[in-house]
Amino acid sequence: MKIVLTCCIGMSTSMLAELMSQASNAYGFNDDITCIDSEKLEVIDLDADVLLLGPQIKHMHRRLYRRYHTKMPVAMIDAQDYGCMNGENVLLFAHDLFKKHQCNR
């Protein structure tokens, strides 16, 4: 599945994305995990299965939620997991969100 992480310019999320990819390969999920500059989300029409926001842009959550929530789950990454760069936790969180989203449909 396609997981997209976003933050200010996508720099600190790129570290997390790398760790999530490793975790994903270890689980055998082989997800496609990428990062994007939060500004670009306003302009492009993102196509992904889950959109996760870095905690430092929580003020953008409402706006991005409005824009994308019908297509994919949009959620904040837990601040503690983000700070400790816990790729595995965030990966499982993303899968959980995706499953819930599928059920609600």
Partner 1 sequence: MAKFTEKFEDGLMVVAEKVDDNKYLGAIKNAFTTFMPFIIVGSFASLFNTLICSTSTGLAAFIPSLAKISPAFTAINFATLSIMALPICFLIGLEMARRNKVPEQICAITALAAYICVVPQSVSIVVEGLESAVSGAGLPSAAIGAQGLFIAMIISIVVSEIFSALMKVEKIKIKMPPSVPSAISQSFNTLIPILISLVIVGVAGQLFFLATGSYMNDWIYTVLQAPLEAIFQSPLGAIALFMVAQVFWFLGIHGNMIITPIRNPLIASAIAANIATAAAGGIPDQPITYGSLVSFIVVGGAGLVLSLVIAILIFSKRDDERAVAKLGLVPAIFGISEPVVFGLPLVLNVTYVIPFILSAGVATGSLLFATSIGFVPCNVVDVPFGFPIVVSAFIGHGWQGVVLQLIIIALGVLLYTPFVLLSNKQFKKEQEKANA
Distance between CA atoms of residues 102 and 63, nearest Å: 22
Check: CB of residue 33 under 8 Å from CB of residue 87. Answer: no
Residue 84 is a catalytic residue? no
User: Least separation, in Å, of the C-beta of 104 and partner 1?
Assistant: 26
User: Least separation, in Å, of the C-beta of 80 and partner 1?
Assistant: 7
What Cα–Cα distance (Å) separates residue 27 from each residue in 21, 22, 43, 72, 88?
Answer: 10, 9, 34, 22, 9
Residues 26, 27, 32, 39: which binds partner 1 (CB under 8 A)? 39
19 makes contact with partner 1 (CB under 8 A): no
60 makes contact with partner 1 (CB under 8 A): yes
